[in-house]
Chain A
């Protein structure tokens, strides 16, 4: 479904991604793990067209997308839930969702579909239904994250890119968010590329994973393999720390 071939992305002179290649098959949940500054967010932004790669190619359903503008990539069916939620704070919850379906509104007869999708989001996150008239800025962090996911789902993407959805959230809320991501993948048939600090939880849910270090992909495998991998365990799962120190 998605094929990234050797992309190199720069911020000015600084290279943030070096020859990164990865692929996603339809229906998968794939997670991208790595330390802060490894380039995980950059990879998602390269995919979304926010920071287009300087070289390399990205294919989505066999169409080249790495030269498209941000909104055109959304139209192709790739929707990003950005890091730090980025909801439209001075706008109501309901209007945030409506804006998520911005592209659907423009098509004729989109009204019913938008309404249906909105109901679906409210069923996934009942708290949003209660707060639909409130300004998004008055929601708690967890609720804003739910809104950000809901807003992105309103576009009914084929591929959803989630950037650190658990950041700064209480464990209970994180669990709920993860439950919904799983639901989006299984019931709503959305392919998911998940960037997570919480590598253990992400790998438990994912089918496959990639490990990114200093802008390079250093490891890939099924979630089970990565969970068993000693390097991954040491660097990202916090296991064996004691032994290493004592050695």
Chain B
């Protein structure tokens, strides 16, 4: 295989991994913007998405579409009850305490998943055929196209939601100025709950679309969650487009690094980038400069 074809191959797989990181990153950003906390349980929703789908598919013998939909619904319900049971009761807690609670929740969900489904690795069948397609000499699996397509849809959908629907605008208003949002009649608490619902739904979707490629087990959430966190730190919490670019950049660098240096450094590359960004530009590469007067 000549090197340009190889390069193209790395770019393709980097982009599809990057899309997943971006989706997980979105989940972080949505909750961060509405509550000011980093939800370290985000990765567990990614795990839940994949594992629940496999559970419905293999144990209950549901068709794939039904299994996916049920899995998204249940993951979302887990996200909402997490907010109701563990976040909302602590009204005046500091963000740091809440972040520690999310770590606790993450360990809890992971442990529960291990007890229910065991430690085995499971594979989800691909959504469509498993035959690779050949583009410019590089092979690409139909599942990669699913990943890219679903990501694009979610990004377009969330842009429409946040910029054009009144509920989306209200969520943004809460993140910019929660008190003023309350004073115009927005129920800030239910917006926080909605943000948990949206971000756990997006997380579970990410987990479902990647499960056919990478396999899934009770503990995939740890690494995927951290990668999503990297994506959102690279892009900057405030910018949706930045998170997408951050995720894609991370996926690309990872796959190029793994291809040209060594595959065993794949994860190290992500965390080196994370550290560099946190040292040099903690607000993210693509964060918007706010224009405002006082």
Contact = CB atoms under 8 A, between A and B. Distances in A.
A80 B185 CA distance: 10
B60 interface: no
Interface stretch (A54-62, A131-139, A234-242): A131-139
B166 A88 contact: no
Interface in B168-184: 169-170, 172-173, 176-177, 179-184
Contacts of B176: 88-91
B166 A79 contact: no
Nearest to B182: A70
Given A137-B291, A138-B292, A139-B293, A155 B184 contact: yes
A128 interface: no
A95 B169 contact: yes
Contact of B169 (A69, A71, A99): A99
Nearest to B176: A88
Nearest to B238: A90
Contacts of A99: 166, 169-170, 173, 181, 184, 186
B187 interface: yes
Contacts of B172: 88, 90-91
Contact of B293 (A80, A102, A137): A137
A50 to B, nearest CB: 7
Interface in B98-113: none
Interface in A64-112: 69-71, 74-75, 79-80, 82, 86-91, 95, 98-100, 102-103, 105-106
A154 to B, nearest CB: 8
B191 to A, nearest CB: 10
A88 to B, nearest CB: 5
A140 interface: yes
Given A50-B179, A88-B172, A98-B166, A137 B290 contact: yes
B289 to A, nearest CB: 11
Contacts of A89: 176-177, 290, 292
Given A88-B172, A91-B169, A138 B185 contact: no
Contacts of B166: 98-99, 102, 105-106
Interface in B148-204: 166, 169-170, 172-173, 176-177, 179-188
A138 B293 contact: yes
A152 B290 contact: no
A217 to B, nearest CB: 24
Contacts of B294: 141
Contacts of A86: 177, 179-180, 183
Contacts, number: 86
Contacts of A71: 182, 185-188
Contact of A91 (B173, B183, B187, B291): B173
Contacts of B181: 88, 99
A208 interface: no
Nearest to A69: B187
B291 A138 contact: yes
Contact of A74 (B169, B183, B290, B292): B183
Nearest to A139: B293
A151 interface: yes
Contacts of B184: 74, 79, 99-100, 102, 151-152, 154-155
A90 B176 CA distance: 8
B185 A75 contact: yes
Contacts of A103: 185
Most-contacted residue by chain A among B173, B177, B184 (CB, 10 A)? B184
A151 B169 CA distance: 14
Contacts of B185: 71, 74-75, 79, 102-103, 155
A89 B176 CA distance: 8
Contact of B292 (A69, A79, A137, A155): A137
Contact of A102 (B170, B177, B179, B291): B170
Nearest to A168: B294
A80 B182 CA distance: 10
A95 B162 CA distance: 12
Contact of B183 (A48, A95, A105): A48
A94 B152 CA distance: 28
A112 to B, nearest CB: 15
12 contacts: A48-B183, A50-B179, A70-B182, A86-B179, A88-B172, A89-B176, A99-B169, A102-B185, A102-B186, A106-B166, A137-B292, A138-B291
Interface of A: 48, 50, 69-71, 74-75, 79-80, 82, 86-91, 95, 98-100, 102-103, 105-106, 135, 137-141, 151-152, 154-155
Given A82-B179, A102-B170, 17 more contacts: A69-B187, A70-B188, A71-B182, A71-B188, A79-B183, A88-B173, A88-B177, A88-B181, A90-B176, A98-B166, A99-B170, A99-B184, A99-B186, A138-B293, A141-B293, A152-B184, A155-B184
Please name the 10 residue pairs, one residue from A and one from B, whose CB atoms are nearest each other, closest first: A137-B292, A74-B185, A70-B182, A86-B180, A103-B185, A105-B166, A71-B187, A71-B185, A88-B173, A89-B292
